[in-house]
């Protein structure tokens, strides 16, 4: 099994998926997710343990 396939399989096992594309596109997706989930975390008052 190729490294990429092993990584994709492991990500799927933990409920994640690999982002594939140009670095700029991946950075945009990660930035959008960070903004979205950061807002949810702040509004819910979630603090690290």
pLDDT in tens, 1-49: 566 788 888 999 999 987 778 999 989 999 999 999 999 999 999 999 8
Instruction: Give the pLDDT confidence score for residue 40 in this predicted structure.
Output: 97
> Whole-prediction pTM value?
0.58
Q: Concatenated DSSP letters for 15-45?
A: T-----S-HHHHHHHHHHHHHHHHHHHHHHT
Distances (CA, A) of 40 to 10, 34, 46, 47, 48: 27, 10, 9, 12, 14
Residue pair 17/23 in contact (Cβ under 8 Å)? The answer is: no
């Amino acid at each position: 099994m190729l490294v990429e396939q092993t990584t994709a399989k492991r990500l799927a096992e933990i409920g994640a998926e690999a982002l594939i594309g140009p670095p700029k596109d991946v950075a945009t997706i990660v930035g959008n997710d960070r903004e979205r989930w950061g807002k949810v975390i702040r509004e819910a008052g979630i603090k690290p343990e």
